[in-house]
């Protein structure tokens, strides 16, 4: 079974504000699954792919 992260866990791992993570989800830069009315989950594999793409594009701002 695949592991999922909350948006807060993603924010903590990236050391960014949770609103920034929400914006990434809204912009569809970070694929997420709606878990409830206001809550999302990110598959571990999707997060790893996001990190790979981000590191290859030089997007480390």
Q: Identify the helix (H) or strand (E) that includes residue 2.
A: none
Owning domain of residue 15:
4-56
- For residue 15, tell me if it sits in a domain: yes
Sort 6 into a burial class: Cβ within 10 Å, 0-12 / 13-18 / 19+: middle
Whether pLDDT at 16 is above 90: yes
Q: What's the pLDDT at 3?
A: 96
- Number of domains present in the structure of the chain: 1
Structure tokens at 9: 């866990």
Q: Is residue 35 part of a domain?
A: yes
- 13 within some domain: yes
Instruction: Please determine, for residue 51, whether its predicted confidence score (pLDDT) is greater than 60.
Output: yes
- 21 domain residue, yes or no: yes
Does this model's pTM top 0.95?
Answer: no
**Residue 24 located in a structural domain:** yes
Asked if residue 28 belongs to a domain, the reply is yes
Residue 30, judged by CB atoms within 10 A of its CB (0-12, 13-18, 19+), counts as: buried
Burial class (CB in 10 A: 0-12, 13-18, 19+), 10: buried
Is residue 61, in this structure, part of any structural domain at all? no
């Amino acid at each position: 079974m695949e592991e999922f992260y909350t948006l807060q866990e993603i924010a903590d791992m990236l050391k960014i504000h949770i609103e920034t993570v929400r914006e990434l989800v809204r912009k569809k830069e970070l694929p997420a699954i709606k878990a409830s009315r206001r809550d999302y989950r990110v598959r571990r594999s999707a997060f790893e792919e996001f990190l790979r793409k981000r590191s290859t594009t030089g997007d480390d701002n």
